[in-house]
Amino acid sequence: MAQTMRRRNRDAPDTADSFARMAELPAGAERERLRQDVIAAWLPMAERISLRFRSSGESPADLRQVAALGLVNAVDRYDPRLGHAFETFAVPTIVGELKRHIRDHAWSLHIPRRDQELRTAVRSAQAALGQRGARSRPSPAELAAECGLSEDEVRRGLAAEGVHNTLSLDHPVLGADDLPLADTLGGLDRALDLVVDRQSLKPLLRALPEREKYVLYWRFFGNLTQKQIGARLGVSQMQISRILSRTCARLRDELGPAGTPQRTPAPG
């Protein structure tokens, strides 16, 4: 019994008597005072544990807060009568709380938990190989042999590395005259809509009577005025205006709301 109650860290506080007293006390002011004292005594240990996860991308303040929450949960659930030192119960509880928080909040993009686990395994394998003097970028085969995964799983873990933290659009891009990332991204090309519209209109334009074809061509491609078109065809400007309105309305109807030509029923 005495061996299991032994503290692992020399600077871990001795709160065994406080826990034993709390187990005997009913809910009330005295028990709450002991509880707050125990939490305050172990809080430095919780903060030290949070430092292990400083490379996760979460802020140190958030990690300390999550670690403190895990400590509170450990204090409330710990039963000294089971014969185990509080430290052996609290450390896994705090670490588990931190891991859950990082899994659920620290990823810029949501990916399956399995891919997150593969990323963690691959990073551990990379660290182990690096400590043994392996080359800086081990191959997927070397990583797979180290962590007991398949090469496909290793590749999934490596791919997950890139979505843990996303780049700001203001991040400078090397090799692009240090332009911000936003300036290197393509924009919406509205001319693509015109390509679709023109291709859809082609069969409809070919089906127009010759006079309507000439009126549309001279007006929209020849940049002639309605009066100039009327002079070429020997009609008034008012007639050209009516032809344009009638022809455009017909094309809109035949093109349809979805931008595709509507089938004209075959004559019965």
Q: What is the pLDDT of residues 90-115, one digit of tens each?
A: 999 999 999 888 777 666 566 677 87
pLDDT of residue 229: 92
pLDDT of residue 142: 86
Pick the CATH number of 16-105 from 1.20.120.1810, 1.10.230.10, 3.40.640.10, 3.40.1390.10: 1.20.120.1810
Integer Cα distance of 49 and 116 in angstroms:
21
How sure is the predictor about 11, in pLDDT bands with cuts at 50, 70 and 90? low
pLDDT of residue 167: 61
Per-residue pLDDT tens digits for 126-147:
878 777 776 667 888 888 888 8
Full-model pTM: 0.45
Cα–Cα nearest to 52, from 37, 63, 40, 44: 63
Fold of 192-255: Arc Repressor Mutant, subunit A (1.10.10)
pLDDT of residue 195: 76
Per-residue pLDDT tens digits for 206-261:
889 999 999 998 998 888 999 999 999 999 999 999 999 999 998 888 877 654 55
**Sequence spans of domains, the chain:** 16-105, 109-165, 192-255
